[in-house]
Structure 1
Amino acid sequence: MKILSREQFYEADRRTLSAEGIPGEALMERAATRVFDWLHARLEGAPVPVFVFCGVGNNGGDGLVVARHLLDHGYTVDVFVVDYSQARSEDFLTNLKRLKGRKKWPEYLDQGSPLPEIPANGVIIDAIFGIGLNRPPDPWVADLIRHLNSSGAFVLSIDMPSGLYLHRVPEDPSAVVGADVLLTFMAPKLVFFLPQTGVFAERWEVLDIGQDPVYMEEAEAAYNLVGREMVRTFYRPRTKFSHKGTYGHALVLGGSHGKIGAVALAAKAALASGAGLVTACVPECGYVPLQAQLPEVMVLTTPGFSEHTELPDVGAAQVCGIGMGMGTGEPVQKAFLAWLEKMQTPVLLDADALNILSLHPADLHRIPGGSILTPHPGELKRLVGPWKDDFDKLEKALVFAGAHKCILVVKGAHTMVFAQGKGYVNTTGNPGMATAGSGDVLSGMITGLLAQGYEPLQAALLGVYLHGRAGDLGASRTGYEALTATEIISSISQAFLELSGPAGPDQKHTAGG
């Protein structure tokens, strides 16, 4: 699914109206009726008071349509027009007239109006601002929004939580509606997936309002969602006449005294992701632990008991994932930089490999083109520098990936992949995955997929999707708090089974996972 810009949303509307030969009010009626249908299916005529807050633009027009349908179905509805501007959209005025035709006159709110009383058992429909908001709400409107947020009532926002911009972080978070449910039109918005802006919608759903399918197919989005149907397009099921050599040989290189477990997790995840052979390369202190706990993995040691003092060539392995638990001591730094200079094919760089590069920015040019870097937020900041907000972080990530011709996997609640000037937002995963070793598992999985011949970008996208889905499956058994990296590995098999099963729609997307 594509994540569109404001201009693309407007163009989709224009193309739809042209293709169908309908006026804007007809498309508004269609969209807002979908909102009503969603709400009515859940309220089922329950005698709860509904409070509809409408702006004076098209988002407010949507709210007026919903209010009219609620009245037609016998609900108790109070309608408020938040009169923040003298300008009104034509479709707002059309639907205001239709509402008055039902003998329902809204109450107008302005700077001097008292704040309406809203009981905690009520339902608020937020239709004040939509995607066109480009400046902070007036102070009195901000006070109204804070009043809505403190009411304790259930809040349903239409298309966007009012006060939230489409492409930047709000100046005053308290002046943004906190929606219990957000029903958005056509496609998700990038702000739903960022820590500073995704918090304003507890749950969100995309409503299909019949936008022109030709335009929706043609639109070139800067960001795309990574879901089941996307990764199925390049997933490669195993064939009958194959052997372990068919699925590649992965080298997982890292570890130091006390951190051998990081390599063990990555190696085990590489195997569970389908690599035919896996070799783990560790300093001498890791030989016995790895050989004892992972009989399927071959073990290679380097000189030095507690840390790597030199690193081997990849050798027979097709690909290498390096850095997990490796340490950043001076001998390790020298060994890693010398090793990286000899590499000619894409590698996966994680953890201390990234930390060493951040200490030696002049050596970033040594990263082979097409390599995959998997930083968590702290490692990313050391690589690209500090950012002022989430949107600045995305821009820095895109610039870094382009400058170094690499694939940047930025781990988080919605892991994002940056490559070739585009961003990809993962839809799987949950808060339970914020646990030790989860990142090592992801690196091992992507390395295992690379070994099987997936293109680097495909390996990254498939890896983050399966990693998140395995985490979701594991959490369904353990809960968030008890989820461990080992449990995630145990769930990789079920994630693959789901992926290879009958085609079906992606799961509903929700904020935060």
Structure 2
Amino acid sequence: MKKLFLSTNELDKNCIENLGLSELVLQENAALGVANLIRQKLDFGKKILFLCGGGNNASDAIAAARMLSGEYECELFLWSSNLNQNAKIQLQITENVGVKIASEICEADCYVDGLLGSGLDRDLPQDLQDLLNSINQKPGLKIAVDVPTGLNKFGRLSPICFKADFTVAMGARKIGLYSDLAKDFVGEIKLANLGICEDKFSGESRSFLLEMSDLELPKRDKQNVSKGDFGHAFVACGMMSGAAKIVAKAALKMGAGRVSVVNLSDKQIILDDEIMLKNSFKLASSVAIGMGLGVARFDLGDFITLPCVVDADMFYRDEVFNLATSQKAVLTPHPKEFANLLKIASFGEFSVEEVQSSRLEFAIEFSSKFACVLVLKGANTLIAQKGNVYISPFGTPALSVGGSGDALSGIILGLLAQGYSPLNAAISGVLAHAKTALNFKANAYSFTPNDIIEGIKWL
């Protein structure tokens, strides 16, 4: 996993004050990162328009234009005349090598966004919104310097954003690039080396970007074992048995030695042969509850001390508060469910839109107060524990189908049954769930929970 930062200003400052690198050296390396990406992605001789504001992002863009001048037809568009000192220096050098300043937006093969950074704390002025709207509709390669203009450090849009094919993050990755709202605007994120390796550039962090290498699949490397060595996962079945069946099948496919369903409703259910039917949670290694639960009754004392996956209907019942206080629980709400969970937990009443625009802040605050592991589902799912946040960037539209969340719960349940810690079960479960979709070779719209379950065996 990689470290994420809300802002890298302090990291830049450390390089300058303690390591001896000048700000212009950092900017030269930042510009080189942009220039080298363009050389990889754009044919020699094409036209590039560099959109520049007045800050350090503009300095990087202007320096990149100078580096590429002669290889490409480069022009600068200066949206702001109020340039900082570094930008003024870079502009003078760039004009000296013959790069022209455009008086208006012209057609180009590539547009480089060096307008504004992530420090924006208000809506963009209307003329800049109009400019971005115009650029976003034009064909051509689009590259953002550090952060697309219109995206703030928390990953919120203001209210429009430069729509990049690539974003070149400078020195270290900013957490705002990985918000749900940012996902359609940042494109592929590249990291520019500013003259010092990432580990030495970055400092301490409590936010992390997950990689597929963080996926830890179950191992069956011992020969003298039985099904009892891999746990017994239990699923609470309520008013809608289909959800419980998906959970049970996913847990079994994920390696749980045995899987049983406890029917809490008065309806008869028919299970696959490999899934057992029980009348209590006795002997459970882990429990899943909430999926299709409805108004079914249960005794929280039957499993409150066990590793537990909590989802769906449980977020509309007051008992979820008790489960949130358990170190052994993994709570997996989607944004609407999380909004109700926040209400039950006395954080206040929030709309889904408010939850989505402040996902990071809410996840940190909730996980700092409650002992459980939070899995806040979304385009980029957040996993939070004790104020630490782990982001999975691997969500795909294929997973936007009914029952997908039930399959995720089953995957996590199966890992818990095999002795994974709640945090490790959540991290590996989210990655495994996403990877089944990434591995899927057919049309994304045809992806189903059964494809998730079937895809587990190919991880």
TM-score, L = length of structure 1: 0.80
Pick which of 278-287 and 424-433 moved more. 278-287
Equivalent position amino acid for 1:465 in 2: L
Q: Which letter does structure 2 place at the counterpart of 1:295? A: D
Partner of 1:4: 5
Q: SS where residue 383 of structure 2 aligns?
A: strand
In the other structure, the counterpart of 1:162 is: 149
- The number of residues matched between the two structures is 448
1:413 deviates by 1.1
Find the counterpart in structure 1 of residue 410 from structure 2: 444
- Give the partner amino acid of 1:327: G
- Choose from 72, 76, 86 the match for 2:73: 76
Identity across the alignment (%) = 28
Whole-angstrom CA distance in 2 between matches of 1:428 and 1:26: 34
For structure 1, list consecutive stretches of 5 or more residues without a partner in the other structure: 110-115, 303-311, 496-513
Match of 2:229 in 1: 246
Tell me the residue number matched to 1:505.
Answer: none
C-alpha spacing 1:34/1:399, structure 2 compared with 1 (3 Å): closer
For residues 276-355 of structure 1, what are the structure 2 equivalents within 5 Å? 276-282=257-263, 283=265, 285-287=267-269, 289-290=270-271, 294-300=272-278, 302=279, 312=280, 314-328=281-295, 332=296, 335-336=297-298, 338-340=299-301, 343-355=304-316
Amino acid of the residue matched to residue 380 of structure 1? F
Indicate which of 134, 141, 150 corresponds to 1:147.
134
Describe the SS at the equivalent of 1:131.
Answer: coil
Partner of 2:46: 48
CA distance in 2, matches of 1:456, 1:445: 12
Q: Distance in 2 between matches of 1:346 and 1:42?
A: 48
Q: Residue 180 of structure 1 contacts residue 201 of structure 1 at CA under 8 Å; is this kept in 2?
A: yes
1:454-507 residue CA offsets vs partner (Å, 9 max, x unmatched): 111111111111111112212xx2221000000111111212xxxxxxxxxxxx
Q: Secondary structure of the residue that 1:12 maps to in structure 2?
A: helix
For residues 88-487 of structure 1, the aligned pairs below 5 Å read: 88-90=84-86, 92-107=87-102, 116-119=104-107, 122-167=109-154, 169-171=156-158, 173-174=159-160, 176-216=161-201, 219-232=203-216, 237-241=219-223, 242-256=225-239, 259-282=240-263, 283=265, 285-287=267-269, 289-290=270-271, 294-300=272-278, 302=279, 312=280, 314-328=281-295, 332=296, 335-336=297-298, 338-340=299-301, 343-357=304-318, 364=322, 368-384=326-342, 385-387=349-351, 388=354, 390-474=356-440, 477-487=441-451
Over 3 Å counting, the alpha-carbon distance change for 1:145 and 1:429 in structure 2 is closer
3-state DSSP of counterpart to 2:77:
strand
Structure in which a larger fraction of residues adopt helix: 1
Deviations 1:353-406 (A, max 9, x none): 22223xx67x54785333111112221122113153534343333333333311
The amino acid that maps onto 2:291 is M
CA distance in 1, matches of 2:360, 2:30: 31
* Cα distance, 1:366–1:206 mapped onto 2, change above 3 Å: closer
Amino acid at match of 1:271: L
Matches within 5 A, 1:49-64: 49-64=47-62
Q: Does the CA contact (< 8 Å) of 1:251 and 1:319 recur in 2? A: yes
**For 1:253 and 1:34, how far apart are their aligned partners in 2?**
52
Query: 1:342 and 1:325, CA in 2 relative to 1: closer, same or farther beyond 3 A?
Result: closer
Distance 1:21 1:398 in 2: 34
SS where residue 127 of structure 2 aligns? helix
Across the aligned residues of Structure 1 and Structure 2, the Cα RMSD in angstroms comes to 2.5
Question: What TM-score results when the alignment is normalised by the length of structure 2?
Answer: 0.89
* Deviation of the 1:189 alpha carbon: 2.6
What amino acid maps onto 1:270 in structure 2? A
Distance in structure 1 (CA, Å) of the matches to 2:198 and 2:187: 29
* Shift in CA distance, 489/342, structure 1 to aligned 2, threshold 3 Å: closer
Paired residues of 2:324 and 2:371 also in contact (CA < 8 A): no
In the aligned structure 2, how far is the partner of 1:146 from the partner of 1:429? 26
Structure 2: 5+ residue stretches without partners: 343-348
- 8 Å CA contact 2:378, 2:395 repeated in 1: no
